[in-house]
Structure 1
């Protein structure tokens, strides 16, 4: 169109902007769904982080063509676009959660069909969207990742905690083993030292020098000889005195 209507230009720019800012875009066909069904679908997708919009296929083709996205094969029939952005509470949404919400709604409303989409720079077909809906939610994947990272760290921390304990046990075992081996030696040494001292004390008495013994016996013999001489001389001196007195008496009588 040489002179497109401003409202159409605005719609094309809106679609382009949403394609550029959305984390992912899923194209669905809503043929046969009632207004009530579409309202319920929008509510469930908003909770999952998706925005559900219905545009004319011609305007969407212009927007995707300007972005070099080849999606014309999916833009046939009553088409709606689901843009993955933020959840109703403001937290980021993810394409897996939105795909799960669409698949869950399609189970009770078979008229809703996921046809294709865009994830980053990759184009998704219907089979890829079905596989994407089977992936665990983002929160669950993060929890698994955190658990997988925490397990080795916990094991490593347990190992580090066990090293001092094992060292303490080993040191205690060495101490106990050393005490047990030293105990008999110390017990055996205790009687040896007094015995050695006693032998050293008794040794001079048992091995007396013969010269010292002779010297000790000589004074004793000398004392004994002196006493004998005194005893021999005393009676002799007494006899001589008696004889002298007898001679004096005889002379006086004469």
Structure 2
């Protein structure tokens, strides 16, 4: 089904808006996937806060202009699905990685984060990035560690005194 100019402009504007607010992007070749498998991928993406779109490469190049994902433009060849992380940087990587484990027809071709294009082999790095809640808990544990150590150190002084007095008492009782 051919798209008219207005429909193409609407698609480009939609993808450009999503790309402007996304944290990371993954491009994967979907050749060989069935309609049911693509529907399943879209459902998983929606549930994880990932915007997934199959778009013509020329329209994708126009949509990515002026965004931090413009670095992907050179590699847009063949039938690609673009996944943009909306909620946390690793979401698109996790969705695509998990789906590709079960479906070998989905092949990651490239990914980008922070304006840098990464090789497909870096998908594990992107997928292992912590979510917002995980990052906050890691930060809080790092911030809490010095205070905990200080409290333990301050508590050790009276504890050592009590143990010393108890040892002297036991020595006098034994004598």
TM-score by length of 2: 0.77
What is residue 62 of structure 2 aligned with on the other side?
Answer: 62
Structure 2 counterparts to residues 76-87 of structure 1, below 5 A: 76-85=77-86
Going by fraction, where is helix more abundant, 1 or 2?
1
* Counterpart-to-counterpart distance in 1, 2:49 and 2:67: 23
- Does the 8 Å contact 1:97/1:137 carry over to 2? no
Contact 2:25 / 2:83 at 8 angstroms: preserved in 1?
A: yes
- Corresponding residue number in structure 1 for 2:10: 10
Q: Are 1:137 and 2:138 matched, yes or no? A: no
Superposition pairs of residues 44-193 of structure 1, within 5 angstroms? 44-67=44-67, 69-85=70-86, 93-133=87-127, 135=128, 137-138=130-131, 139-166=133-160
C-alpha deviation, 1:53, in angstroms: 1.1
Q: Does the residue aligned with 2:90 lie in a helix, a strand or coil?
A: helix
What whole-Å deviation, never above 9, does each CA across 1:16-47 have from its counterpart, x for those lacking one?
Answer: 11111111111111111111101111122223
Q: Quote the residue 1:43 is aligned against.
A: 43
Q: CA RMSD in A?
A: 2.8
Following TM superposition, by how much is the alpha carbon of 1:144 offset from its aligned partner in structure 2, in angstroms? 4.1
> Alignment length, in residue pairs?
164
- Of the two, which has the highest radius of gyration? 1
User: Structure 2: where are the runs of 5+ without partners?
Assistant: none
Q: 1:199-210 alignment to 2 at 5 Å?
A: none
Q: TM-score, normalised by structure 1?
A: 0.55
The 1-side partners of 2:81 and 2:92 are apart by 14
SS in structure 2 of the partner of residue 95 of structure 1: coil
Q: Secondary structure at the match of 2:121?
A: helix
User: Post-superposition shift, 1:82?
Assistant: 0.7
3-state SS in 2 of match to 1:137: coil
* CA distance 1:136–1:60, change in 2 (3 Å): closer
- The answer (yes or no) to whether the contact 1:27–1:74 under 8 Å persists in 2 is no
Q: Which has the higher strand share?
A: 2
In structure 2, the residue matched to 1:20 is 20
Displacement of 1:126 in angstroms is 1.0
* Higher RCO, 1 vs 2 (CA within 8 Å, ≥6 residues apart): 2
